[in-house]
Amino acid sequence: GAVVSQHPSRVICKSGTSVKIECRSLDFQATTMFWYRQFPKKSLMLMATSNEGSKATYEQGVEKDKFLINHASLTLSTLTVTSAHPEDSSFYICSASPTGGAGNTIYFGEGSWLTVV
């Protein structure tokens, strides 16, 4: 099956610094990738849709200047949490689809635990 890789799996950063999380589709090209945030024992909250070669589409309430998304190639999207604060600590998950369209399966990365101290 299709593989999506996220890196790092765990990261600890100091308050006020920025941290980048990478999402790679290893064996397929992904025009669209999705970034989710998951709080402990909660469902996934869609943060933004990342489109290769264009600006990301952010969900309502998500600060685009704080959560920078770049989708520079068909196999890589990055999420940068800028000026991180403890409340940004969370589990971040990306997903990607081999082809566009609402009926297509999306494949998930293993997630990245961010802890801001």
Partner 1 sequence: AQSVTQLDSHVSVSEGTPVLLRCNYSSSYSPSLFWYVQHPNKGLQLLLKYTSAATLVKGINGFEAEFKKSETSFHLTKPSAHMSDAAEYFCVVSVVSGTYKYIFGTGTRLKVLA
Walk across the sheet containing 4-7 and list its strands: 4-7, 19-25, 76-81, 67-73
What's the residue count for the chain? 117
Closest CA relative to residue 54, chosen from 32, 36, 37 = 32
Name the minimum Å distance from CB 56 to partner 1. 11
Name the minimum Å distance from CB 27 to partner 1. 15
Q: Of residues 32-51, which lie at the interface with partner 1 (CB under 8 A)?
A: 32, 34, 36, 41-46, 49, 51
- Judged by CB under 8 A, does residue 89 bind partner 1? no
Residue 96 burial (CB count, 10 A): 28
- Judged by CB under 8 A, does residue 61 bind partner 1? no
- Judged by CB under 8 A, does residue 56 bind partner 1? no
